[in-house]
Amino acid sequence: MKKVIASIALVTLVLAGTTQVAFAAAEESLNIEKAAIKAVENSQPLKTVNQQAEVIQKNYVSLKGQMNQTKYLLPYSNSYSLVKSIILAPLQLKSALEQVNNTQVVVTNAIRMGAYSGYIDLLKADYALNTQSELMNSLYEDYKKARLQKEQGMLTDAQLRLAEIAYEQTRYNYLNAQNSRESAGMALNNMMKEDIAKQYDILQDNNIKPPAQIRSLNEYVQQARMNRAEVLNAQSTLEILEEQYRLGIAEIPTDYEFYKQQQEYEIAKAGDDLELARINVQQNVTDLYAGLTSSMKKMEAMSYLADQAQQSFQAAQIRYDNSEITFIELNKAKVAKAQADINLKNAELDAWLMQATMDSACGAGFQP
Q: What is the pLDDT of residues 77-136, one digit of tens each?
A: 655 566 667 677 788 888 888 998 999 999 999 999 999 999 999 999 999 999 999 999
CB 132 within 8 A of CB 338: yes
CATH number for the domain that contains residue 109: 1.20.1600.10
What is d(CA 107, CA 113) in angstroms, rounded to the nearest whole number?
A: 10
Residue 21 lies in a domain: no
Total domains, the chain:
1
- Is residue 85 a part of any domain in this protein? yes
Domain that holds residue 71: 28-362
Which amino acid would we find at residue 130?
A: N
Domain-located, residue 117:
yes
Q: Which residues, 6 or more positions from 35, have their beta carbon under 8 angstroms from its beta carbon?
A: 115, 116, 118, 119, 188, 191, 192
> Could you read off the pLDDT of 307-342 as tens digits, one per residue?
999 999 999 999 989 989 888 889 899 999 999 999
Name the more confident of 78 and 237: 237
Query: Residues near 211 by Cβ (< 8 Å), separated by ≥ 6?
Result: 296, 351, 352, 355
Q: What is the pLDDT of residues 63-94, one digit of tens each?
A: 777 777 666 655 556 555 666 676 777 888 88
Residue 14 falls within a domain, yes or no?
no
pLDDT above 70 for 18: no
pLDDT at 227 over 80: yes
Q: Is residue 16 part of a domain?
A: no
| pTM of the model as a whole | 0.83
Q: Is residue 207 part of a domain?
A: yes
Is position 22 within any domain? no
Cα–Cα–Cα angle for 30, 33, 38, rounded to 5 degrees: 80
For residue 19, is it within any domain? no
